[in-house]
Every structure is written in C-alpha cells, then in structure tokens.
Amino acid sequence: MAKSRFQYILPDHRVDYGVQVELDSLRVDGEAQRGLNLARAKSIADGLIVDALGSIVVSERSDGTRYVVDGMHRTEACRLRGLRTIQAEIHYGLTQQQEATLFLIKNRESAKVSTLDEYRVGLTAGDELCVNVDRVLKSHSLNLGSSSTNSVGAVSAVLRITKQHGPEVLDRTLKVVEAAWGRDKESWDGVILGGLAIFLSRHGDGIDDDELAKRMLKRGMAARWRSEALTRASNGGYNNSGTGSRESQCYQMVVESWNKGRTAANRVG
C-alpha cells in the first residue's frame, strides 16, 4: 500500500476498551471529523446488526465532554434505530488537534475517507503539509474543494505539488495560472497545475512568471491546454493515459511555449 502523505503522532494517553456509552452524551466536532452523510447512516440503520457494530472511537476531553472520533455514521444509525447506548473505545485527555490525528490514524488504511476530508482533518491536526497548502491558498484568496472561481477542486494535485516540489512552487503555479487565464474553474485544473509545477520546479530559477503566463495564454485557454494534454497522453497508448502521463504532456507543452522563438542557447528542457 502506498505511503500516506500525512504524518500521525500521538502522545501516550489512557484508553479504555469495550465501554457502553450513552448516545445522547456523544458530540461531533466538524473540524476533527468528516461531514455526516445521512444517506449512508440510514443505509447502515436499515441493515443494522447490533452484534456486528464493533466499537466506535470516542475522545473524552478534560472537561468530561465526549466526541466521536471514528464511527459517526454507526452512531447516527443507532440513533435512527432508537438505541440508547453503543460500545466504544474511549481515549482520555486529547486535544482537538490530537483527536484529528487519531481520526487519521484510525482511517489511514481505509478508502472510505476522501482526500478532501483527510486534508481538512489534517489541517485541524496541524499536519505540516496541510498547513503549508492552506497558507498558500489563503494568500491567493482560494479554498480547496469543489471547482469554482475561488476554489481549487484538484485536491490531490495541490497536495502532491506541495509534497513533491514545496509550497513555493505551488504559490508560483497558482500565480502563473491566474495571470494567464484569470480566476476561473478551468484555470485550476489538476493536469495543468501539475504540469506547470513540474516545469517551475525544474526550470523556475531562470523563468519570468509574467512572461511565462503570456506565452501560455498565447497558446490557448485553459480548456484547450487540458484537452491537448489528454489527447497527447492518450495517443501514447492505454498505459500512458494516467494522471502522471497527462501532467508530463502538459509539462512538455509549457516547455514548448517557453522555448518558442528562442535560440537554442536560451531554451529549457
């Protein structure tokens, strides 16, 4: 299994297992948890087998309040079925940040947690990668989530760029893209961001960002860039049609745009 992009560190603390807890005593902290999918909770409730529920994970804070760390949908399903208690594994004395870390630990082997959910909880947990991404996005007045004028939907691409190339490259990538095509959801396409980030990481020291943006715009709008990158990757065969190949083709397109009209001595790549 691929190594997680997030780090998980918790202090030693007391844990009690197999404790029956009152459902009415449990709360949910939206900053340390994913959002509730009510349809999923209802589906669990419809086929609920109490003996097969297992234990949810609960954090009891220093003031005695209890928060569900893992098992929110099972908890809601039990409420929908009118149950009063649920079995829990209770962790004591954790901060909100540590609860978020515990959530990541409990779900790191699971495919049910989306990258966006993991990012949001990782941000609460103080994960360095998430904090760096958040800082760069805020400097551009951007959010991470669904694609829109002021929100980047390419969550995995943004995290990968920051992890592989650093927050400075992410910052320059967003700057160049906006200078080229403005604030539009097409501008924040993951293939374009990834290809441009590779270019800036490899050749950025000798590149003027404003000139690069003008050259990229001259080649076409963002939608055309993405379409061409996909076509070029697909022409390489089925095994070359993945994200990495599309980003590589976009990188080559940036190289071509930068080199156009330059002498051999002034070209990159």
> What residue ranges do the domains of the chain occupy?
15-95, 131-266
- Any idea which residue has 């893992």 for tokens? 70
Residue 109: predicted pLDDT: 55
Topology of the domain comprising 15-95: 3.90.1530
Tell me the HSE value of 26 on the side-chain side, using a 13 A CA sphere: 27
Candidates 99, 118, 97, 94; CA nearest to 107 is 118
The tokens for 47 are 């086929």
Residues (pLDDT < 70) of the chain are 1-8, 108-113, 236-243
Distance (Å, whole) CA 58 – CA 70: 7
Q: Please, which residues have CB within 8 angstroms of residue 135's CB and are 6 or more apart in sequence?
A: 167
pTM of the shown model: 0.67
SS (H, E, C) the chain: CCCCCCCCCCCCCCEEEEEEEEHHHEECCCCCCCCCCHHHHHHHHHCCCHHHCCCEEEEECCCCCEEEEECHHHHHHHHHCCCCEEEEEEEECCCHHHHHHHHHHHHCCCCCCCHHHHHHHHHHCCCHHHHHHHHHHHHCCCEECCCECCEECCHHHHHHHHHHHCHHHHHHHHHHHHHHHCCCCCCCCHHHHHHHHHHHHHHHHHCCHHHHHHHHHHHCCHHHHHHHHHHHHHCCCHHHCCHHHHHHHHHHHHHHHHHCCCCHHHCCC
Distance (Å, whole) CA 216 – CA 246: 17
Residue 110: predicted pLDDT: 56
Residue 238: predicted pLDDT: 44
Distance (Å, whole) CA 74 – CA 54: 9
